[in-house]
Amino acid sequence: MPNVVLVGAQWGDEGKGKVTDLIARDFDYVVRYQGGNNAGHTVIHGDKKLALHLIPSGIMYEKAVPVIGNGVVVNPQVLVEEMRMLEGEGLSCERLKISCDAHVIMPYHIELDKASEFRLGKNEIGTTNRGIGPCYQDKAARSGIRIQDLLDEHVFRMKVEAALEVKNAILKKVYGKRTFTVDEICEAYLPFAEIIRPHMAETAQLLNDALREGKHILFEGAQGTLLDIDHGTYPFVTSSSCCAGGAATGSGVGPTAIDRVLGIQKAYVTRVGAGPFPTELVYPENGGEGQDAIDGDLLCAEGREYGVTTGRKRRCGWFDAVIARYAAEVNGLTDIALTKLDVLSAFDTIKVCVAYECNGKRYDYFPMQQSVLFHAKPVYKTMPGWKGEDITKAKSFEDLPANAQAYIEELERLSGVKATIISVGPDRDQTFTSRLRRRPKSKSAASSAHPFCSKFIVS
């Protein structure tokens, strides 16, 4: 069993929780390496669906040690509430390990997040207002508070006092918002320290010791490639490194320890929050018209596209092979898990974006210029659907209708990455592996879509 990074290959919400939940049982450690409680994974426990926002999906399995790495930002209240929720469901959190170096989301981070978004108005980024960005700002500015600081009340008070000199001034003078006192923050946060204390660990050392012992690690990413602070659709991104490279920095293991990078993609694309989205099918309530608006509403309804963390209606669109190729490139994807294929069973025909057009120029690759991406128009290929055929009971690639097989093969050809896991429904038993199926039609066929595609085809 190799060490695997599981990464979102679109704008997040690709179904990473389900895939992690499915494969985590085969690993000794499951590590969350970035983000905070601005992300949500839905996992299955018995006949219940549980929403996890911080704790890795490995908590579901007695063998796996779930680890919150140094790259994560932690709201202690949310963490403790999540631990209590799991324990109430009969799932022990005794094995949970939390990096001493993970940064703490403070109350003023949340207020600053809300105030900043409100001030931006129609130009808002679309954050979850959970203080993630301001916490990462303090981390980069070397003025953040870490989990280890909660262990010493004197140190914690000193650091909070220093932070409030600046944060209160900004909250009051810039935004006209409430300020905080050292005592009220200590009163709220220090009790959490005693609950978290038994779980604190030098997780980088823990994981490297595990590697030396031949243990296997699953690195669980949050959000998605296009929300990465460096490689996403900036500035409409999150504040952490969502790509596969973030697994090394966010956990403290070297990149040579990683054997496989599994990208998670929906059979279509969704996005939450503001920012460019070339294949978006705009909803009627947002001004969309015609068949595109109808298709967008149908995708949302059939896919039950509402955010786990925010509850917001997700923006929906057809599969975008341009970002699929880009995700393969920046993550070094070895293979993909294709989720929610069953949602497309509602359509007579299905579109796939193969390129963009802007100002008379065709883009087969992901354009870096923000102005181009905002005005890019998708170039579509239309494929026949399999409407009326129930694929939710399929147990293999061969069980799928011919048109569904052709659709998957076309996505593989366009992205240059093989789909080794295919999901045809929300339940665990509605996912099958496809490791022995033939590779995309030919190396030259993949390369015709993009010059880098052939590098990622898995034999």
Report the pLDDT value the prediction gives residue 435, as an integer from 0 to 100: 54
Say yes or no to pLDDT of 365 above 80: yes
Say yes or no to pLDDT of 438 above 90: no
The single-letter code of the amino acid at 12 is: G
How is residue 58 written in tokens? 């490995």
Report the pLDDT value the prediction gives residue 188, as an integer from 0 to 100: 96
pTM: 0.89
Distance CA 74, CA 87 (A): 19
E strand intervals along 69-114: 73-74, 97-99, 103-104
- Among 21, 26, 28, 41, which one carries the catalytic annotation? 41
How is residue 42 written in tokens? 């839905």
- Please give the average per-residue pLDDT across 253-260, as a whole number: 96
- Please give the average per-residue pLDDT across 405-427, as a whole number: 95
Say yes or no to pLDDT of 327 above 90: yes
pLDDT band at 152 (very low <50, low <70, confident <90, very high): very high
Choice among 72-76, 97-101, 436-440 with the minimum mean pLDDT: 436-440
Distance CA 391, CA 397 (A): 10
- Please give the average per-residue pLDDT across 56-82, as a whole number: 94
pLDDT per residue as tens digits for the range 98-120: 999 999 999 999 999 999 887 77
Portion of the chain with pLDDT greater than 90, in percent: 76
- Please give the average per-residue pLDDT across 437-451, as a whole number: 40
Could you please report the per-residue DSSP string of 139-173? HHTT---BGGGGG-HHHHHHHHHHHHHHHHHIIII
- Please give the average per-residue pLDDT across 65-75, as a whole number: 97
How do 335-339 and 319-320 pair as beta strands? unpaired
Q: What is the largest CA-CA distance in the chain?
A: 67
pLDDT band at 39 (very low <50, low <70, confident <90, very high): confident
Report the pLDDT value the prediction gives residue 456, as an integer from 0 to 100: 36
pLDDT per residue as tens digits for the range 165-192: 999 999 999 999 999 999 999 999 999 9
Say yes or no to pLDDT of 193 above 60: yes
Report the pLDDT value the prediction gives residue 439, as an integer from 0 to 100: 44
Report the pLDDT value the prediction gives residue 310, as an integer from 0 to 100: 64
CB-based burial label for 75 (10 Å; 0-12, 13-18, 19+): buried
Indicate if 13 belongs to the active site: yes
Distance CA 108, CA 80 (A): 19
pLDDT band at 249 (very low <50, low <70, confident <90, very high): very high
pLDDT band at 126 (very low <50, low <70, confident <90, very high): low
Cα distances (Å, whole numbers) of residue 172 to 117, 130, 176, 221, 238 = 16, 19, 4, 36, 26
- Please give the average per-residue pLDDT across 404-416, as a whole number: 97
Distance CA 288, CA 3 (A): 44
pLDDT band at 446 (very low <50, low <70, confident <90, very high): very low
Distance CA 343, CA 303 (A): 6
Residues 323, 354 contacting (CB under 8 angstroms): no
- Please give the average per-residue pLDDT across 228-245, as a whole number: 94
Say yes or no to pLDDT of 444 above 50: no
Choice among 38-52, 141-155, 210-224, 269-283 with the minimum mean pLDDT: 38-52
Indicate if 228 belongs to the active site: no
Say yes or no to pLDDT of 133 above 80: yes
Cβ contacts of 26 within 8 Å, gap of 6 or more: 1, 216
Could you please report the per-residue DSSP string of 302-364? HHT-B-TTT-PBPEEE-EEHHHHHHHHHHHT-SEEEEE-GGGGGG-SEEEEEEEEEETTEEES
Residues 177, 115 contacting (CB under 8 angstroms): yes
How do 319-320 and 349-358 pair as beta strands? parallel
- Among 13, 149, 228, 335, which one carries the catalytic annotation? 13
Say yes or no to pLDDT of 25 above 80: yes
